[in-house]
Structures are given as structure tokens and as C-alpha cells.
Amino acid sequence: MSNSKPSCTPSKQRTVNEDRNADFFDGWGEYHDMVGSLDTYSNSARALDSELAGRVVDVGSGGVVNYDCSRIAELVLVDLSEVKQAGSSWPSCVRPVLGSAVELPLETGGYDCLLMQMVVHHLAERDFATTRERVGQAFREAQRVLRPGGRLVVLESVMPGVLEWAERLAFPLTRRILAWMGHPLVFQWRAASLRRLAVEAGFGTAKESWVPRGRWMIFLGRRMPTALVPVRFVKLVATKAG
Ligand SMILES: C[S@@+](CC[C@H](N)C(=O)[O-])C[C@H]1O[C@@H](n2cnc3c(N)ncnc32)[C@H](O)[C@@H]1O
């Protein structure tokens, strides 16, 4: 089991919402236990079973290694959160690294798979245009570090299209409410938007499939019955042209 300290200090100043994310997850002591106990996350882990092999990067890992590692030779866990990236017991193939999804401190073209599990909605910042640009930048970074033929695997909670539009319109209000709640800014995409952003970032193909919802999930930092939350779970697999 690996228990190493994370390497690298992010080279740039963190953004406002990166700071909020790091503080929020650093201070959320029971996060791993909650993820481990909820059926929705067992379903998403199962959906990853056949996806991860070789040299793998898990961006926004939160220190959660809830998937099969038997075919993984090296697993780089990238996160802003220093606490979540230290002190956990992981398989020996793990290398924790501090860094941001939009500027990965990793070499170009060296990895077979890059996973983003429940992290894209956290790449929100200031307004819709900035948020869209940041997700695009994170996907371009994924494209950069993957080898030709490598795959970006995004597991994400997504909204129906009409609610994505409502979120866009209500962005300034949502930003204030979430700040008042002490929650980092989030923006929940619809599946088709994620696919479009992956293709715009240069991925040759991008296909999505649905992951069954469990009875319980985490929403805005709380354990919630999924029946009360208007999201579905999607797995998007985008391949870098060979
Ligand atoms: C909801 S948790 C998901 C953790 C884990 N992937 C899982 O599926 O349980 C979101 C994680 O993304 C991280 N995060 C947020 N913004 C990030 C960014 N810009 N770069 C890297 N990680 C980020 C947070 O620190 C947090 O650990």
C-alpha cells in the first residue's frame, strides 16, 4: 500500500473557486466514508471496470480509489486538496500529485487513460463563459497528456438540457447562494455539452452511456435520495486520434 506525500506545488496562483474547492474538501473529513457507503458510487465504480489500464491519471481524485486497479501499472492522483491527497492507503501503483485540472503538472503524451470522476461540475468560475473555457482547458490538458489512442473517461452527474439552460440564466444568483451556503461554485452540464466540449478540445470520437442511479447520492455536500435530485449519471469516453 502506498502512503506517500503528494509531489509538486501548483505553479500558478489558485483561482477563487479552486481555493474554495481545496478548503471545502480538505475540511470534509467523512467524504471517503460517504462515497464508500452510497450505492450510486458503487455503480459508477463498476462502470469503470473495463476502462482503466496501463498508465492512468485520475484528475480531481479526492483520494478516492473506488475502481479496479488490477490492470493499472501506474496511477497518478491529481487534486488541489492537500488533505485528500495525503494520508490515505492506496495500492502501491499510486503517485499523488498536487495540481489543477486546467494545468496538469504531467508530461505530454505519456498516459493511456485519464479519468475525471465527479469533478467537471467543480470546474466552475465567475460566469458561464469562464466556466465553459475552464472545462475546455481541462479537456485540452487531458488531450495533451494522453498518448495517441489514449482515452479520456468522464464520469459525471448531468442535468437535462432545459435545466442546463436555467442554470446558465441563473448563474449570478446561484453563485451568491452557493457562496452563502459555504459551498464551492458548481455548474452541472448536460451530457451533449460535455461531448461537444471534448470534440472541440480535439478528441476524435466521444461516446456516452448512462450509469444506473442508486438510491442515494451526494448533492451540494449532502447525502440525498436520488429521486429528489434531477440528475443522471453519464460515462463519456473520448479517444485521442492515433
Ligand atoms: C466531488 S469530488 C470527487 C472526488 C472523486 N473523484 C470521487 O469521484 O469521489 C471533487 C474533487 O475535485 C477536486 N477539484 C476541484 N476543482 C479541481 C481542479 N481545478 N483541479 C483538480 N481537482 C479539482 C476537489 O478538490 C475534489 O477532491
Annotate 152-208 with DSSP letters as a single string.
Answer: EEEEEEE--HHHHHHHHHTHHHHHHHHHHHT-----PPPHHHHHHHHHHTT-SEEEE
3 state DSSP class of 64: coil
On whether residue 76 sits in a domain, the answer given is: yes
Residue type at 52 in one-letter notation: L
Which residue has cell 452563502?
Answer: 180
User: Model-level pTM?
Assistant: 0.95
Q: Lowest mean pLDDT: which of 11-15, 93-97, 107-111, 156-160?
A: 11-15
pLDDT over 90 (residue 12): no
The minimum-distance atom of ligand 1 relative to the CA of 44 is 8
Contact 155, 233 (CB under 8 A): yes
On whether residue 143 sits in a domain, the answer given is: yes
74 beta partners: 55
On whether residue 109 sits in a domain, the answer given is: yes
Distance between Cα 188 and ligand 1 center (Å): 14
**The pLDDT value given to residue 75:** 97
How many domains does the chain contain in total?
A: 1
Nearest CA residue ID for atom 3, ligand 1: 118
Mean pLDDT of the chain: 93
pLDDT over 90 (residue 136): yes
Residue range 178-182: mean pLDDT, rounded: 95
Q: Structural domain of residue 152, as residue ranges?
A: 16-239
The Cα-based distances of 153 to 69, 120, 237 in angstroms read: 15, 11, 5
Q: What is the C-alpha separation between 172 and 124, in angstroms, rounded? A: 12
Distance between Cα 118 and ligand 1 center (Å): 7
pLDDT over 80 (residue 117): yes
Nearest alpha carbon to residue 81 among 98, 64, 58: 98
Q: Is the CB of 118 within 6 Å of ligand 1?
A: yes
Q: Is the CB of 80 within 6 Å of ligand 1?
A: yes
The CATH number given to whatever domain includes residue 160 is: 3.40.50.150
Distance between Cα 70 and ligand 1 center (Å): 23
On whether residue 185 sits in a domain, the answer given is: yes
On whether residue 8 sits in a domain, the answer given is: no
Helix (H) or strand (E) holding 234: strand 232-239
On whether residue 1 sits in a domain, the answer given is: no
Q: Is the CB of 17 within 6 Å of ligand 1?
A: no
The minimum-distance atom of ligand 1 relative to the CA of 15 is 19
On whether residue 183 sits in a domain, the answer given is: yes
On whether residue 233 sits in a domain, the answer given is: yes
How buried is 82 (Cβ within 10 angstroms: 0-12 exposed, 13-18 middle, 19+ buried)? Answer: middle
Nearest CA residue ID for atom 23, ligand 1: 60
Distance between Cα 61 and ligand 1 center (Å): 6
- Inter-axis angle of helices 171-181 and 161-169, to 10 degrees? 80
**The pLDDT value given to residue 13:** 87
